[in-house]
Amino acid sequence: MTLRWIAGALVLAGSVIDWQILGWFPNTWRGILVGAALLAANAAIQQWVRRGAALLRRPRRLLAVIWTQIAVDLLMLSLLVLWTGGLSSPMTGFFVFHMVFASLLLGPIMACAAATLAAALLLALLALAGEAPATRDEWLQAAGLVLTLYVTVLIVNRITRRLRDDERRVLAHHGRILEMSRRLRDQQQAMVQHEKMVALGQMAAGLAHEIANPLASMDSVLQLMQRNPEAPRSGALLTLRQQIERIHTIVRQMTSFARPDSPSGTPIPLGQLIDRVIQVVDLDRRLDRVRIVRDVPEPLARTCTLPLAMQQVLVNLAINAIDAMAEAPDPVLTFAASRDHGCVVLRVTDTGTGIAPEHLSRIFEPFFTTKPVGKGTGLGLSISYRLVERHGGRLEVESRPGAGATFTLRFPEAHPPRHA
């Protein structure tokens, strides 16, 4: 339609210029009439399309609109050719453009029908005006024009068909890529859960010990109450409730840690997050010989961060630090926080064996691990890196053999939840 507006305006302007200045063609008022009619027809078709936009989804109605436009264009062009010299008119070349448009909008059979309609209209108008081909050269000229129209249709349809096939293949590839991306996200989430289960497995002995202690205390109280039911010990019920609450706290910590991550979480203070992490890793019995240093200034401890994602990262780093300090004479695990250019910086430092220089560049690669077979999956640091990155932060490492390692988390400060 845009091209038709341009074509109608050019025909109208060209006819006026020829009438007023050039004088190349007789009866230029006919060209003015064709230009005006083309613009009027385009306006009517545009209104038809706008009013029946929903109906255009039906193939028959859409086909009717296309054929109406093609028929109007071919009729107007045939009149221009007739009034500007017949078969010798310079306007005959524009039939090729119309065949290109018809080939883009229609299938090969209907596009050939459009070429037939163009040839029939032109020859019929020439015959009615008494200018039908009479000599051998005129018939050859007419045959050449008709042949050009059919060849144009065939070539453009072939190119169009290939382009459409390529587009379908691209769309199919795009669909497969989207499906693969969805599967990768699901697999990444599954790996995150797997790493959590690995961490819980490493702490299983400590978890059993932590639950066994209050259970033993409760059993002792119950045995005393059973031996002397008439004179219960003072504070026995309070002791039972305290031990039950202790078990409940341990189970709640494990449930919170093992729960799948949600895309967004309620921000909590950084100090509270570190306390949660220490409570979780404290279930690992190896932590009994590790001294924990918590260097978090009080104003910074109230800074909010995302709990679930960062808790997963810090627990992974703490467990790796405990593994690295298994042979250290004085193991120390340090959580230190600071601010740097609007970001919260949290450093997790251990006094373990450190990381070899050749391993530093690969430390965040999936499945890369220096632990013995069966002791690590090589996914913990890779998943931690992705989690920090997904929340707009960075995870970096510094280490020297025999001097421990420092993992640095940089992440934007989160805003505390608003309460109504």
What are the residues whose beta carbons fall under 8 Å from the beta carbon of 324, sequence distance 6 or more? 350, 352, 353, 354, 404, 405
Of 77 and 201, the structure prediction assigns the larger pLDDT to 77
pLDDT of residue 348: 93
With 0-12 / 13-18 / 19 or more C-beta atoms within 10 angstroms meaning exposed / middle / buried, residue 335 is buried
Q: Residue 220 — very low, low, confident or very high, per pLDDT cuts 50/70/90?
A: low
Mean pLDDT of 277-290: 78
Angle between helix 136-202 and helix 108-128 axes, rounded to 10 deg: 160
Q: Within a 13 Å sphere around the CA of 332, how many CA atoms are in the beta-carbon half?
A: 12
> Assign residue 204 a region: left if phi > 0, alpha if psi is -120 to 50, beta otherwise?
alpha
Cβ proximity of 273 and 307 under 8 Å: yes
Cβ proximity of 366 and 346 under 8 Å: no
Mean pLDDT of 92-110: 80
* pLDDT at 194 exceeding the cut of 80: no
SS3 356: coil
With 0-12 / 13-18 / 19 or more C-beta atoms within 10 angstroms meaning exposed / middle / buried, residue 402 is exposed
C-beta pairs of 413-419 under 8 Å, 24+ apart in sequence: 413/303, 413/304, 413/305, 413/342, 413/343, 413/344, 414/267, 414/304, 414/305, 414/306, 415/267, 415/304, 416/267, 416/304, 417/266, 417/267
Cβ proximity of 202 and 374 under 8 Å: no
φ, ψ dihedrals at 293, nearest 5°: -110, 125
Token match 């004088």: residue? Answer: 23
Q: What pLDDT, in 10s, does the model give residues 15-54?
A: 778 777 777 766 666 777 777 777 777 777 777 666 655 5
Q: What pLDDT, in 10s, does the model give residues 357-398?
A: 888 878 877 666 666 544 555 566 777 787 788 778 888 999
- Rounded-to-integer distance, Cα 180 and Cα 169, Å: 16
pLDDT of residue 419: 46
SS3 337: strand
**Domain locations in the chain?**
2-174, 265-412
When the candidates are 1.10.10.10, 3.30.565.10, 3.40.50.10490, 3.40.50.720, the CATH number that belongs to 265-412 is 3.30.565.10
Q: What pLDDT, in 10s, does the model give residues 335-364?
A: 999 888 778 889 999 998 888 888 887 887
Q: Which of 132-146, 153-167, 206-220, 253-267 is predicted least confidently?
A: 253-267
